[in-house]
Every structure is written in C-alpha cells, then in structure tokens.
Structure 1
Amino acid sequence: MAKRKSIKKKVNREELAKEKFFKLNKKSDENDASVWFKRGMDVSDPEKKLACFKRAYKLNPKFEDLLFQMAEVLFQAGKKDEAFELFDMIFAINPDSENAFLNKGAFLFEDGRDEEALELYARAVILYPENDWMWVNRGNSFSRLENYEKALECYTRALEIDPKAAETWFSRAGVLNTLDRNEEAIEAYDRGLALNKKIFEAWHGKGAALQKLKRYEEALEAYEKALKLNPKLANLWISKADMLQMLERDPESLKAYYKALEIEPDNFYSLLASARILMRYSKFQDALNYADAALKCSPKSLEALKIKGDANYFLGRHRRALQAFNKILAISPKDPEIWISKGCAANYSGSFEEAIESFDMAFALGSETSSARAQRGYSFQELRKYGEAIENYDRALTLDPENLKIWNSKGVVYSYLKEYEKSFECFDKLLAIRPDDFSALNNKGTVLYDLEMYEEALECFNRAFEINPNFREAKKNRQITTGILKEKKTS
C-alpha cells in the first residue's frame, strides 16, 4: 500500500508564541485573577502585559493593585483618559486609597495638569500628613507653576518627615537655585549629596549655584563630577565649557564645546560659542564654518550673522561680508555698530557712496566713533573729494587724538592736493611718536619722490623696507628710486 503524502501546514509563529505564552500550568489557573496578574507583572511587552491584566480584571474588577498596574500601562501607551478612568474606579472602591492619591497625582503632573494635581494633593496631605512623597509631589507642582515659596514649604515638610531623602534635598536645592538663594541651594545640594553622590543632576545644579556666586573653580569641579556620572549629556559639556571661558581657558573651553557637538551636532549654543572663541583667536575660516552651521539651526541669529560678516571681512571677502551685514540690518535696522561694519565692508568692496550712507546712518543713531569717521574720510578720499576727506579726518582726530593712523591718511590726501608742507607735517607728527611706522615712511618717501627729492625719498623707502622686508610697495619704490639715482650719476 502506497504511503499518503503528508500535507505541510504553514505555521504562524506569532500565534504559536502567543498560545505558548497564555498556556497555564493548571486548568484552574484560568479562573484565578492573581495568576493572570502575576503573569502580567512578569512580562515586559506592554500589549501582552495589558492582555493579562484584562483577563485578571474580568475575573476580579475590584483588584486594586491590578487597576494601578493597568492605569500605568495605559498611561504609558498614551491612553490617558482610560488610565484616569481606572483611578476613578479605584476611588469608588476605596475613597481614601493612599496609592491612588499618590499615583494619580504623579500622572497628572506628568500630563502637565498641575492645578488638578494640587487639588488632589490638598486632600491627600490631610488624610496622609506623614507621607513625605505626597508633600514632595505637591512641591513639584507648585515649583512648575512658579509658586516657589509654596514649593519650599512642601519640601521642608517632606524633609521633616524623612530627612534622609536625597531627592527631596535636591528638589529643595533646585528651587533655591531658581530664587538665587545660592548659598542655601549649595547647602541643600551638599545635604543630598552626602546621602547619594551618584546623581549627576545634583552636581550640575550645585555647579550652577557656585557659578552664580563666581566660585568658578569649585563650579568647574562640580561639573567634572557630573560628567563622570554622565559623559553623554551635551548640556553638561556646555556648562563645563562656559565655566572654562569664565576662567579664560579658551582652548579647553573649545574642546568641551566640541564634545557637546559630538553628542548633539546641531546644538546651536555650542556652534555659536565655538565660532565666538575661534574669532577671538583669528581663526576666521573655522569661525565662519561654525557660524554657518549655527545659521542652519537659527537662520535669523544676529550674532551668528555678525560673526559670518566679520569673518568674511577679515578673510578679504568683503562682498560676502556686506551680504551678511545687510541681512542683520533687515532684521535689526537700528544697530549702529552693524551700520559701521557695513560701511567698512562697502569701502573695501569699492562701494564708496554706499559706505558713506552707512556711516551716516550710524552717526544718526548716536554712534560716531573716530575709526568710523576715518573710514568715512577714506570713502571721500577714494571718490577724490579731498576737502570732505580732510574734514572727516579732522573730526576723527577730534574724537580720538591718539588715532595716529589718521595723520598718515591726512598726509596722503594733502599730497594729492599738492599741499606738500601740510603733507610732510602730518607724516612727521606720526613718525615723531611712532618712528617705525613703515606705511608713513613709505608715503612720505612717495611725496619726496614726486618732488624729485630722490635721495631723501630713498632714505624713507630704505627705512620702511628695513622695518618690514615683506612690504612690497616699499621694496618696489626703493628699486625705482635707486635706478633713477644711478641714472643721474652716470648722466
């Protein structure tokens, strides 16, 4: 007799696993609510947990611990209304349930419903005045509603009940920190840390309180301890970096900001702070890169745009600098410093009329500086409006007689006007104070050259070249003048 071919059935593995999961040891267990409750407690999968709890609920709808656990699972699954309905059921079974007051209040707090939580805890602390966590949770809601004095009263009461509760000390310290009662905050952090040194938030909070008291070294030490406990939190690295800046330890500060950015590459604060430090160290391209990254996070950041403008300016990319300054002025048109920066960028872009308009806006806004006046003078100089240039240079010197570079600029303009005596007078005033000013020496030499006083001119060019051998203009003028003097000798 021939064998019949067996038919292979496709097995649903999920169904098989589910069947195995729900298989109980004894048939009688199917009707035991406590068994289903225990199975629900033993599994981690929320759906399986809830399925077990529902089986238990059908068997015993007044099982208080079961209702608590069901509420927890439903709340975490986002089914908050169903979770709160279960608390109503618990209160219907036991109107004075201590756990129901505590847990419902905690869920209300987590859901941001602080007023309702406080209403609940007001009843709870009358029924259970010695339950310190009722007072702590009540304090937390007061704190979030910015009723800090009430929060402190609650934490104080909780600590009278249990003075060894580290977390309560930390909650109290946090409120004191917010109120700038920093010495008291530090004392509270220390009390809590004596009980539990492994809470990084406490070290972080203590560091913030110490920082506000300008106890920077101690603050840094606290931040370091926080980082040992949690080195993967960007905000801790930022706090450390900020503190290092306060201590003028910029290179270390920059490294700490970089660590924060390894964790959160789009952290705007760290990107901007890094750009700021790099600008101080004249690392303009790097600063520009970080400013651009910061602007991707916050396109209208005025500080990031300013760094972008300044970095491009110092890199000689004056048109790009001008674009950045224009973006700032579109957002904040009454910032005189930006109008001055725009004027300088416009000057070096060859947009002299635009530069003059920018400086005029800055002056109208009440910011007339010597350097801005000098730049405005340069605008007129390049437009060959020499009278206006001299007027601006004179005004710049009135504002700051120590701005010696202006004498150099005035000397050049007088030479263009062929007022050579005045020109020499300007150069000599500068060189009497700063005899190694190679630019003034070169410019004086140029005027002497124009007057065919070649030997005197060569002396100036030689001196300028000795001071700065990389000064190409002086080198070139020196060669030309030397050539002329040689021709004169041979002729």
Structure 2
Amino acid sequence: MQLSSNEHNNFSLERFESMLKTNSVLFFDSEEFEEIVHHYLENGKIALAKKATKLGLEQHPSSTNLKLFRIEMYIFENQLDIADELLDELHLLEQGNEEIYIQKANIFSRRDKHKEAILLLEQALEITDDKADVLSLLGMEHLFLEDYQNAKQCFIKCLEIDEEDYSALYNVIYCFEFLDEYEAAINYLNDFLNKNPYCEVAWHQVGKMYYELKDYKKALAAYDFAIISDDRFIGAYLEKGRVLEKLKRYTEAIDSYSITLGLDDPTSYALLRMGKCYEKLGNTEMAIQFYTKCVAEDSLLDKGWIAITDFYLKNKQFQKALYYIEKAISIDGENVHYWKRYAKINNKLNLFEEAEVGFRKALELGNYEIESWLTRGDILINLGEFEAAVNNFNQALEFYPEHAEIEYRLSGLYYTLSESDKGAFHLKNALKSEPEFLMIIEELFPQIIQMKSVVEIIKQHKNPSI
C-alpha cells in the first residue's frame, strides 16, 4: 500500500487536520483517507493514523484497504487476537487479496510461528503483482529460522526483480557470510556488477569479502571502484582506511579517514582510527589530539577511552592514565574493561586499596580471568586481609579447579590463619600438579615455608618412600 505524496495529498492532509481542529465533519473519498493514514504511519504518528482510519471507516465502511490499515495498527500494538479475527472476517470476503495473507503471516511471525508464516507468504506470492516485497518478507522469515540457504535464494530473486533493492543485496551477502561462502559471494557480486558496473554498494561488499579472505590488495581495489561510483560514499572511505592500516600504509589510511570528516559530521570511529594511525607513525601529539576528539564526539565509545588510557599506560604516565579511566568510569560504571584498567593502573601506583576495588568490580562484572583472581588475592594478602583473600581464592577454584597457583596461595593463607589441616590439604594438591611453583609460598609467605609440618610435607613429596 505504498502511496506517493503530491500537492493533492498535502491539500487532503490540510483539510483533514483542519477538520480535527474545528470538530467539523468533512467528506473524503476512500483513497484520500488511505493516503492520509499512510502519511501518518510513515511519520510514526500512530494516534493520528488511528483517528484517520476510524473516521475513514465511518465514511467508507466497506473499504478493504482501510480495514487492512486498522488491522496493521492492531498488529503494531500487539493486539494479535483482534487482528487475527478481523483478518478471518476479511478473508471470507476477499480470498484473492494478497495483503490479507501478508498480515496473517505477520501475526504468525510475531508469535514465532515462522513456518506457518512462510506457508502464507508463499500463497501471497502466487497472487501478488509485487513479488519483490513478498520475497523479501519470505527471506526474513527464513532468516528467523536460521535457514540461510533459502533466505539467500529469496533475496537473490528479489534482486532479479529489482536490482536497486540494496536492502536485499545486503541480506544476500549476509547469508553468504554466515555460510562462510566468501568466494561464492564474490562470484555472485561480480555477476551482479557485470549488469550494474557503477553500483557502489556491490563494490563495497566485494571489498568486504576480500577483506575477510585477507586479500587486502583486491579489497583496496574494490573500495576504490566504490568511491569512483560514488565519491561521497563514507562507508567505502572508512573501509579503505581499514585496509590501508592492514597494509601498514598509515599516512594513506589517515587521508582516507580524513575525507569522511569533510563529507559529514565526524564519526568517532574515524577519529579513533586516525589516532591509532598517528600512534603507529610515532606522532604522539596528533594521536592524543584525535583520541581526545574521539571521546568528545562520543563519550559512550569505550574504545576511545581505552585507546587514550592505554596510550598513557604504555608510556608509563600512570597519573594521566588514571585521570582518563576515572572519567570513563564516571560515564559507564558497568564497563568491565574500564575497571580492569583502573585496577591495573592503581596497582602500578601502589594504591592497593583502590586496585583491589577495581579487580573486585571487574570480577563482579564477569571478568573471570585467572590473572584478576590472582592479582586481587595477592593485593588482599599484602593488605593483611587474609579472610577476604581466602574467599577470593575459593571462588577462583570454582572457575579453575585444582589450579596450582591458587592452591599454593590458599595453603599459605590457611597456615597463616592457623588452619593447618586445610593448609596441608591445599599444599599437597599444589605439589601434585606443579611442584616447581613452590616459590609462590616462599615469596608470599616466607614464615610458612620454615614451618616444620610444611617442610615435612615438601620432603615427603620429593621422597615418597620416606
């Protein structure tokens, strides 16, 4: 039900809105009402669309298209039972209307009954004049079922009907990608480009396929053709920059990214990549300048904050690194990557209590790397928080059972807490798996290694016959 806007439509809209304001009743033919409803739906004005549909059906109670609009709005509001009932009524009157099958399929789809939706769309396909739209809907239903082969065929048929349906083109390539059919995708795109040699979207997709295959020179050539086809195609310049980075041609990559800044508002991605390129070229001043611009442009882009923090970390400027990671945490306190860096930086600055907080937060947020458990536990030992350290390492054992580095630490802690049986248990476990890591106890618990019972266990391990 695609309807074009023109001066007549605008006049109808003005009359309709005037009627609403004055509470007067004006007559519109059914097509005018359809155009009005379509306009409101296109612009997301659902309340006005509902009002126009209601008034339209009062003046034209037999209008099928207005009834379908009403059904569409019920589906949009998830009132599926009402929509279903109205469709059944309409189907009795008009069994040859493909829109009834399409909306019925839409209801099945919303109920996650995608196979049933496909059967109805296949019926709609037999009677519709607009096969491309129905094929596109069929393709989406197959995608919901993760049936990428059939989805791919539907979208290919769409493109056979309408070569300018770039949405279908993207979906075809998505299916090829998911199936790891990169060579087949390139062959398909080359055939497509033989008929449409200046299709910038197709060239862009060819570039992406070659990039996945790590054939960067061919990817670069494809992006150049995309730019020749449309010299304002921002995506092609960004992807070209990415390829140039892979080829270590950082100055050219900067040039490609910088072009995008003149075509539209700067993107945080381009600013970040330019910063990375300047850093690779050793131009630290420009690198920092672009990292700063990146986080100013998009304060929610964690890669920007991480880049600027890591830059200062790498250069051992820990106070500056801490300043930026604290700013990042103030914006997004649930980002595990931020807390890991916060912990690491504070540890470097010997701010152990703050470092412990950082590691604890990272662990709470799901960062269960062994290094986080070990470092946090060692900090707690240094702080004299032995009970907390025991809890930390016991939790770590749930993720890393019988891990020697954890076992040695637990052994030392239990001996420190005068729980010798537990200390002996963990010491024996540790010696069984990694006897050479005994130095952990020597370094962290020098007083324990001298204990008579500990010396005896170590001796027995070395000489089991004793």
Give your verdict on TM over 0.5: yes
Alpha-carbon deviations, 1:2-30, whole Å to 9, x = none? xxxxxxxxxx9746544555665995524
Query: CA separation of 1:100/1:323 partners in 2, compared to 1, >3 Å: closer, same or farther?
Result: same
Alpha-carbon deviations, 1:180-231, whole Å to 9, x = none? 7654422111133343333222122212223334444443342234345544
Report sequence identity in percent. 16
Alpha-carbon deviations, 1:343-398, whole Å to 9, x = none? 9536430746967999xxxxxxxxxxxxxxxxxxxxxxxxxxxxxxxxxxxxxxxx
Q: Give me the whole-angstrom Cα distance separating, in 1, the residues matched to 2:363 and 2:260.
A: 43
Shift of 1:159: 0.8
Q: Give me the whole-angstrom Cα distance separating, in 1, the residues matched to 2:444 and 2:385.
A: 22
Q: Give me the whole-angstrom Cα distance separating, in 2, the residues matched to 1:353 and 1:23.
A: 79
Q: Which of the residues 85, 89, 99 maps onto 2:201?
A: 99
Q: Which of the residues 442, 445, 452 maps onto 1:348?
A: 452
Query: CA separation of 1:119/1:16 partners in 2, compared to 1, >3 Å: closer, same or farther?
Result: closer
Q: Give me the whole-angstrom Cα distance separating, in 1, the residues matched to 2:276 and 2:288.
A: 10
Counterpart check, 1:153 vs 2:255: no
Q: Which of the residues 366, 370, 378 maps onto 1:276?
A: 378
Q: Give me the whole-angstrom Cα distance separating, in 2, the residues matched to 1:297 and 1:72.
A: 39
Q: Which residue does 2:242 correspond to in 1?
A: 140
Query: CA separation of 1:356/1:258 partners in 2, compared to 1, >3 Å: closer, same or farther?
Result: closer
Whether the 8 Å CA contact 1:220–1:243 is kept in 2: the answer is: yes
Q: Which residue does 1:398 correspond to in 2?
A: none
> What letter corresponds to residue 196 of structure 1 in structure 2?
D
Q: Secondary structure at the match of 1:345?
A: coil
Q: Which of the residues 219, 242, 264 maps onto 1:120?
A: 219
Counterpart check, 1:189 vs 2:291: yes
Whether the 8 Å CA contact 2:209–2:219 is kept in 1: the answer is: no
Query: CA separation of 1:127/1:63 partners in 2, compared to 1, >3 Å: closer, same or farther?
Result: closer
Q: Give me the whole-angstrom Cα distance separating, in 2, the residues matched to 1:282 and 1:259.
A: 20
Q: Give me the whole-angstrom Cα distance separating, in 2, the residues matched to 1:327 and 1:182.
A: 50
Whether the 8 Å CA contact 2:200–2:225 is kept in 1: the answer is: no
Q: Which residue does 2:58 correspond to in 1?
A: none
Q: Give me the whole-angstrom Cα distance separating, in 2, the residues matched to 1:150 and 1:133.
A: 19
Q: Which residue does 1:446 correspond to in 2?
A: none
Q: Give me the whole-angstrom Cα distance separating, in 2, the residues matched to 1:244 and 1:265.
A: 18
Q: Give me the whole-angstrom Cα distance separating, in 2, the residues matched to 1:303 and 1:353.
A: 17
Q: Give me the whole-angstrom Cα distance separating, in 1, the residues matched to 2:249 and 2:322.
A: 32
Query: CA separation of 1:128/1:16 partners in 2, compared to 1, >3 Å: closer, same or farther?
Result: closer
Shift of 1:68: 1.8
Query: CA separation of 1:303/1:178 partners in 2, compared to 1, >3 Å: closer, same or farther?
Result: farther
Q: Secondary structure at the match of 2:249?
A: helix
Moved more, 217-226 or 202-211: 217-226
Q: Give me the whole-angstrom Cα distance separating, in 2, the residues matched to 1:252 and 1:177.
A: 30
Q: Which residue does 2:336 correspond to in 1?
A: 234
Q: Which of the residues 317, 323, 332 maps onto 2:428?
A: 323
Q: Which of the residues 264, 268, 272 maps onto 1:170?
A: 272
Q: Which residue does 2:307 correspond to in 1?
A: 205
Whether the 8 Å CA contact 2:135–2:154 is kept in 1: the answer is: yes
Query: CA separation of 1:154/1:180 partners in 2, compared to 1, >3 Å: closer, same or farther?
Result: closer
Query: CA separation of 1:261/1:353 partners in 2, compared to 1, >3 Å: closer, same or farther?
Result: closer
Query: CA separation of 1:346/1:67 partners in 2, compared to 1, >3 Å: closer, same or farther?
Result: same
Shift of 1:244: 2.9
Q: How large is the RMSD of aligned CA atoms in angstroms? A: 4.4
Mapping for residues 15-414 of structure 1, pairs under 5 Å: 17-21=117-121, 27-31=127-131, 33=132, 35-36=133-134, 39=137, 46=144, 52-57=154-159, 59=161, 65=166, 68-75=169-176, 77-78=178-179, 80-81=181-182, 82-95=184-197, 97-109=199-211, 111=212, 113-114=213-214, 116-125=215-224, 128=227, 130=231, 133-141=235-243, 143=245, 145=246, 147=247, 149-160=248-259, 162=261, 164-176=266-278, 182-264=284-366, 266-295=368-397, 297-298=399-400, 303-316=405-418, 317=420, 319-320=424-425, 322-323=427-428, 326=431, 330-331=435-436, 338=442, 345=449, 347-349=451-453, 351=455
Q: Which residue does 1:414 correspond to in 2?
A: none
Q: Secondary structure at the match of 2:207?
A: helix
Q: Give me the whole-angstrom Cα distance separating, in 1, the residues matched to 2:121 and 2:174.
A: 19
Q: Which runs of 5+ in 2 are unaligned?
A: 1-104
Query: CA separation of 1:197/1:265 partners in 2, compared to 1, >3 Å: closer, same or farther?
Result: closer
Shift of 1:74: 0.5
Q: Secondary structure at the match of 1:282?
A: coil
Moved more, 217-226 or 173-182: 173-182
Alpha-carbon deviations, 1:119-173, whole Å to 9, x = none? 2213533773755544432443454x5x5x4245313332145353431120122
Whether the 8 Å CA contact 1:325–1:342 is kept in 2: the answer is: no
Q: Which residue does 2:41 correspond to in 1?
A: none
Alpha-carbon deviations, 1:332-352, whole Å to 9, x = none? 68x698599799536430746
Q: Which runs of 5+ in 1 are unaligned?
A: 1-11, 359-491
> What letter corresponds to residue 170 of structure 2 in structure 1?
Q
| Number of aligned residue pairs | 338
Moved more, 284-293 or 14-23: 14-23
Shift of 1:303: 4.8
Query: CA separation of 1:332/1:209 partners in 2, compared to 1, >3 Å: closer, same or farther?
Result: same
Q: Secondary structure at the match of 1:239?
A: helix
Whether the 8 Å CA contact 1:309–1:320 is kept in 2: the answer is: yes
Shift of 1:330: 3.3
Q: Give me the whole-angstrom Cα distance separating, in 1, the residues matched to 2:168 and 2:331.
A: 37
Query: Larger Cα Rg: Structure 1 or Structure 2?
Result: 1
Whether the 8 Å CA contact 2:244–2:252 is kept in 1: the answer is: no
Q: Give me the whole-angstrom Cα distance separating, in 2, the residues matched to 1:311 and 1:180.
A: 47
